[in-house]
Structure 1
Amino acid sequence: MWALRAEECNLSKCSRALRSARWLSLAIVVLVTVVVDLATTVWAKTYLRARTASFFGGVVKLRLVYNTGAAFGIGEQHEWLVEVAEVVVIVVLWFLLRSTNWIGRIGFALAIGGGIGNLVVRWIGPDGPLRSPVVDWIHLSFYPSTFNSADVALRVGIVVAIIGLIVDSRRRRAARSSQPAATAASDEPSLHLGHEPQSSKE
């Protein structure tokens, strides 16, 4: 009995340690995403201040653009509204992260890191909180707007999270569809036992 309790305790400790390690890894994903965005923002403001760079025949261009709005310039000149919307999005992503599988959590962690990165740049910018723009510096010839590394993390994270949600949904449907078959298989022997023929005595 004591051995069983010790084994249960060890399993519980292992489970808690595993959960802690998973949350730590997600926190690292968020932190690295934010740090990369801040570092590339400083680099872009320094290197691209008076120049542009072009690659692959002009398909990729690096140029400095200050954006006071959200994606595609939405909300421009209404910085405070954009920042409130970003906070709301980050909170929603956090709650979604807690209710999905491992693939989805990685995606949401990337998206959260991207959102926090843009928010930090707006708060520590030269114009002060609620006034500073984000720094965009990546432009693709086939894409209508210039963006930054935080935007990349946000968009890639959302795609990965959607993939995780789809995988999770399919697994749940498969589990639900297999339950009736398992129940029928477990009930079948009892039905045979209930109708077992009586042996005749000679």
Structure 2
Amino acid sequence: MTTPDTVAARPRRYLILLLVAVAAVLADLATKQWVLSTFSEGESVDVIGGLLQFTLVYNTGAAFSMGTDHTWVFTGIAIVVVGVIAYIGLRVRNVWWALTLGLMMGGAAGNLMDRLFRDPAPFHGAVVDFIRVPYWPVFNIADSCVVVGACLVVLLTFKGVNLDGSLATEDGDGAADRADRDEDTDEGTGQ
């Protein structure tokens, strides 16, 4: 049932999604600009010993530098991801889903901007990566947002939270169980 509160919640949650996405893009762009103005390619600085380093690298591929000859494919995928999240986001009425999708949208958009506007050419640009931890490829803030968002998707899905904030048990078969409980309650109270 649609109430004035649920109708009003949709724009507010979408606004949260968009604000989180914009914040993620701005943080990503700011850190990349800082790295580009501070480091030369391949230069490393220890931040926390060997545990965390800043190292400027350009990545034309995906994670682990796979697909470096197919940058345009990753550009297309990022465009689709941003568009799909923008569309799905219209149905979000749960703050956690708004935060989650905002992180994923912002992360995808941050790397998309690199692919669209950085050298060597539009749609073939190299992504600026700079965060290095042991046994993992170098990454950036946008990548972190996508990974955190993906982990939150798994958590929210595992907990059964739908985009509208309802629990999965309240849908489908759960609705029949709820109706049975309501009938039992009505009989027990004489209503």
TM range (shorter): 0.7 to 0.9
CA distances 1:42-94 after superposition (whole Å, capped 9, x unpaired): 11111121631113321111101100011121221211111112222333334
1:66/1:135 contact within 8 Å kept = yes
TM-score, L = length of structure 2: 0.81
Using the alignment, how far apart are the partners of 1:82 and 1:19 within structure 2?
Answer: 31
Using the alignment, how far apart are the partners of 1:26 and 1:96 within structure 2?
Answer: 11
2:16/2:95 contact within 8 Å kept = no
User: Kindly, what percent of the aligned residue pairs are identical?
Assistant: 27
Q: Of residues 10, 35, 38 in structure 2, which corresponds to 1:19?
A: 10
One-letter amino acid of the structure 1 residue matched with residue 183 of structure 2: T
Q: Which residue of 2 aligns with 1:197?
A: none
Aligned pair in 2 of structure 1 residues 97, 165: CA closer, same or farther (>3 Å)?
A: farther
One-letter amino acid of the structure 1 residue matched with residue 185 of structure 2: A
Structure with higher Rg: it is 1
Q: Of residues 70, 74, 84 in structure 1, which corresponds to 2:66?
A: 74
Q: Of residues 167, 172, 177 in structure 2, which corresponds to 1:171?
A: 167
1:104/1:163 contact within 8 Å kept = no
Using the alignment, how far apart are the partners of 1:149 and 1:131 within structure 2?
Answer: 20
Shift of 1:174: 5.7
Give the CA RMSD over aligned residues. 2.6
Please give the residue correspondences for 1:1-202 in structure 2 after superposition, counting only pairs within 5 Å.
Answer: 12=4, 16-49=7-40, 51-99=43-91, 101-143=94-136, 145-167=137-159, 168=161, 171-173=167-169, 176=174, 177-187=177-187
